[in-house]
Amino acid sequence: MAIVATENGGIVPCPGGPLKSKDGDEAVKALSWKQVAKITERFRSLNPYDRDAVPGSVLKIESDNFDPETKKQRQIYCLAISAKRYVLFQKNQKGEPVLLREGENNEKDHWSKHGLGHVLNPTDPDDEDRLWISQAWRNIVLKSLNLKPKTLKIEKKLAVGRVSVSSPNVMKTFKVLNRGKKYADQIKPFNFLLTSYVRPFGHPPNVDPSKFHLVAPYESDARKWTKLDWIDEHSGKNFKVATSGFHGNRNTARVKTIGDLLGEYEIHPEAKCADKSGNPCGQVTTGLLKRRRTKIDEIKFIGKESNSLENVESELVHDEKSVYTTYEDPQHDLWKAKVLPALKKAKLKVLVKQCEGRLRRSALIELRAGRSRPQPKNYELLVRILKGLGHLPTLES
């Protein structure tokens, strides 16, 4: 829970807020520290544990709010891009941000690595140091405060991640590369590989972007990354990579630099929320957000592998549908529940015309009678037609 609070409380500016500041800006009401303390005290009675073993309130005020040396409460600021991407900081006398850092002004570092943690240290990939992420966060905060950010030396470096050889398909990719080499020199199961991330419109011509994933044998020298022969995991073909220009060519993919990655990172939309008008958040949405209103149209039982979904966000997997396992439930058969009734409502003559020969009249009669089911392509065709006729206004095909 992130409570908007200042020492004395009052009105603070916030785009999308329901109140107005003295200057007429949109604002929200901040609680005072004393009010927050009283609220946490009221939760003391809900403590279900042995009070000797676990004393105090179940609503804990985090230690980040207190100076580690003086133990006095201090004003903490937060910049949040989304639920998992945020940074906590203070302001110095010049109004500049000072991130909460372990050993300096806090018990631990307090900037999110979510969305960046999969990228190797662009200076030394074997070094677990993630100081560059804190530098990136400080620049993001500086921009939000209308202060001049500093140019990072790493911005033009290639953004590279590390993956392991975890499936037979990946091993097939390196079959040619392993040929003629001693076993000790070959790429083997569970070895680490490098992966790079193709920029939008950076794919070589005539490739399917959803089935194009560049990997290379692990190389600890970051200076050699752009000179490696990268291999497309799906086709097994070799490609070079470039970090400049707007698109790739027949033999080269335009891949993302650290600067490209950070540029996308700071405008990442919060998909679970809506803006003050109730519209889905976009890349430039700021201020007070609200939960999106949803309408249940269809129920599907799916397997949700959190690691795989993280891989989708990290661009290690390009098609989100490939990480879901769908379990069909006869009681929620979409064809019988919605598509077939809509098909019966539509006039047969109109359906025949709309199908343009891709489904014959006799086939449509069989489908409308419920004596057969359409093939996937014909199913999608019928859904598009019925939506166009207004019989399936909310159905997802």
Helices (H), the chain: 33-42, 131-144, 168-173, 175-178, 258-265, 306-313, 334, 340-345, 348-355, 361-368, 376-388
Number of neighbours of residue 333 by Cβ within 10 angstroms: 13
pLDDT of residue 271: 87
pLDDT of residue 176: 73
pLDDT of residue 294: 82
pLDDT of residue 317: 61
Q: Tell me which residues of the chain have a pLDDT lower than 50.
A: 396-397
pLDDT of residue 396: 47
For residues 261 and 197, the answer to whether their CB atoms sit within 8 Å is yes
Helix axes 376-388, 348-355, angle to 10 degrees: 120
pLDDT of residue 158: 94
Give backbone dihedrals phi and psi of 79, rounded to 5 degrees, phi first. -115, 120
Residue 52 Rama label (left phi>0; alpha psi -120 to 50; beta): alpha
For residues 26 and 19, the answer to whether their CB atoms sit within 8 Å is yes
pLDDT of residue 310: 58
